[in-house]
Structure formats: C-alpha cells, structure tokens
Amino acid sequence: MVKLLEEREQSDQMNLDRFDRAILSVLAEDGRISITDLAKRIGLSKSPTQARLRRLEQTGVIIGYRALLDPIQLGLDHVAFVEVRLSDTRENALRAFNAAVAKVPEIEQAHMIAGNFDYLLKVRTSDMSRYRQFLGETISMLPHVAGTSTYVAMEAVKETMLADSP
C-alpha cells in the first residue's frame, strides 16, 4: 500500500509525507485503533496525529471506515462477473444505468469498460439458482440492457481493497 501511496504522491495529486503514509498504513491494518495508539505507532504525539488524521479525512484521502464482512460466513459464496452490453450508450442512458446499479446490493462492483461490452459487474449471491433468478429479474431489467455474458468464479485467489495492498 505504501508503494501505491508513494506513486500517487509523486504524481503531485496529493502531498503526503512519511507520517501521513504511516497513518494510512496503520489504519489500513486496524481502522479501530485509538488516536493514542496510532500516535505511538507512527512516532508523533497525539495532537499532531489527530490533526493529520482530521486533514486526511477532510481532504478525502480517507473516505470512511467500515467493518469488513466475510461473505462466506453470510452465505454469499457465489460470485459471478457479468459483462453487460447496453442498447444505448448516450450520456442519459449511462446515467440511468449507473443510478439503477447503485441501488442493487447484490452488485458489489460495477465498472464501465472500454471494449466489446459496456460494463463489468461483480455480483454476489447465495448460489447458482439465486443468481439465475437475479439475472432474469434484476440485471436484465436494468435500464438499456441489451445483453449479458456471465462468468462464474470458482475460487477467489486474491481479493483486496486498497487498504489491503502491500
């Protein structure tokens, strides 16, 4: 993660020093750490650590905190990647599709793609039967969907978020 942050810093889009990067690295491991413990871990006193943390939050470098849930423990171990082709790719159609996708909890990720299809969705359901129903009743009914292709994941070899990256 620190390498990614250093690359980003070099692009002059952010101005992070070693203490800022250390704060981000520690929080990526433990988002519930106290300010006192965070300050000890990065080698600053509590007040400047708290000020830096507040600045990282206010500038949008830190966009939030959340619990990471184990989808397998929740019975959501079926993952499918869905290529979506739209019938209309004008701006209003894209906005309508994006807004509709944002409301669907089973869609974990949605990416607009430059290629032979328009969007790639990561969908998580309980099993194949539930996915098939979801495909027919939800994905196919999204605005401007002309067609889909599904790829079912057999095993997650690596699933990380930026916070988890080395």
Three-state secondary structure of the chain: CHHHHHHHHHCCCCCCCHHHHHHHHHHHHCCCCCHHHHHHHHCCCHHHHHHHHHHHHHCCCCCCCCCCCCCCCCCCCEEEEEEEEECCCCHHHHHHHHHHHHCCCCEEEEEECCCCCCEEEEEEECCHHHHHHHHHHCHHHCCCEEEEEEEECCCCCCCCCHHHCC
**Mean confidence (pLDDT) of the chain:** 90
**Is the per-residue pLDDT at 154 higher than 50?**
yes
Under CATH, to which class is 78-152 assigned? Answer: alpha beta
**Is the per-residue pLDDT at 3 higher than 90?**
no
pLDDT in tens, 23-73: 999 998 899 999 999 999 999 999 999 999 999 999 999 999 988 888 888
Single pTM value for the model: 0.74
The CATH number assigned to the domain with range 2-58 reads 1.10.10.10
pLDDT in tens, 134-146: 999 999 999 999 9
Q: What percent of the chain has pLDDT over 90?
A: 78
User: Domain limits of the chain?
Assistant: 2-58, 78-152
